[in-house]
Structure 1
Amino acid sequence: MKLLLSLLGLTLLSPAWANKVVGITDGDTLTIQVGKSPVVVRVADIDAPEKNQAFSEQAKQSLSSLCFGKQAQYQERDVDAYGRVVATVTCGGVDISRVQVERGLAWVYTEYNKDLSLPGLEAIARRDKRGLWSHPNAVPPWEFRRQPRLKKAVAKQSVEGICFVGRHGEYRIVDGAKRYGC
Structure 2
Amino acid sequence: MLAVCMAWPASAGAQGRAPVERLATVVHVTDGDTVWVEMGPADPLLAGRVKVRIDGIDAPESCQTGGPEARAALAQRLQGQSVHLLLRRQDAYARWLGRLHHEGEDVGAWMVAQGLAWSYRFASGRGPYDAEEAQAREARRGLFAHPDPMPPRVFRQWHGPCH
Q: Please report the TM-score for the alignment, with normalisation by the length of structure 2.
A: 0.76
Question: Are the equivalent residues in 1 in contact too, given 2:39–2:50 (CA < 8 A)?
Answer: yes
Aligned residue pairs: how many?
134
For residues 21 and 43 of structure 1, what CA distance do their matches in structure 2 show? 12
Partner of 2:30: 25
Q: Could you say what secondary structure the match of 2:21 adopts?
A: coil
For residues 65 and 83 of structure 1, the distance between their equivalents in structure 2, rounded to whole angstroms, comes to 25
Give the deviation of 1:23 after TM superposition: 0.3
RMSD of Structure 2 on Structure 1 (CA): 1.9
Report the Cα distance in structure 1 between the residues aligned to 2:95 and 2:126, rounded to whole angstroms.
Answer: 18
- 1:67-109 alpha-carbon deviations (Å, 9 max, x no partner): 1111011111121111000001112222111100000000011
2:144 corresponds to: 133
Moved over 3 A (4+): 112-116
In structure 1, what is the Cα distance between the partners aligned to 2:77 and 2:34? 12
Give the structure 2 partner of residue 119 of structure 1: 130
Q: Percent identity?
A: 34
How far, CA to CA, are the matches of 1:115 and 1:134 in structure 2? 20
With structure 1 as the length reference, what TM-score do the two structures score?
Answer: 0.69
Higher strand share: 1
Greater Cα radius of gyration, structure 1 or 2: 1
Comparing both chains, which one has the higher relative contact order based on Cα–Cα distances under 8 Å and sequence gaps of 6 or more? Answer: 2
Unaligned runs of 5+ in 2: 1-19, 42-47
For 2:113 and 2:155, the matched residues in 1 are separated by 21
Report what 1:108 is aligned to: 119
Q: Which residue of 2 aligns with 1:95?
A: 106
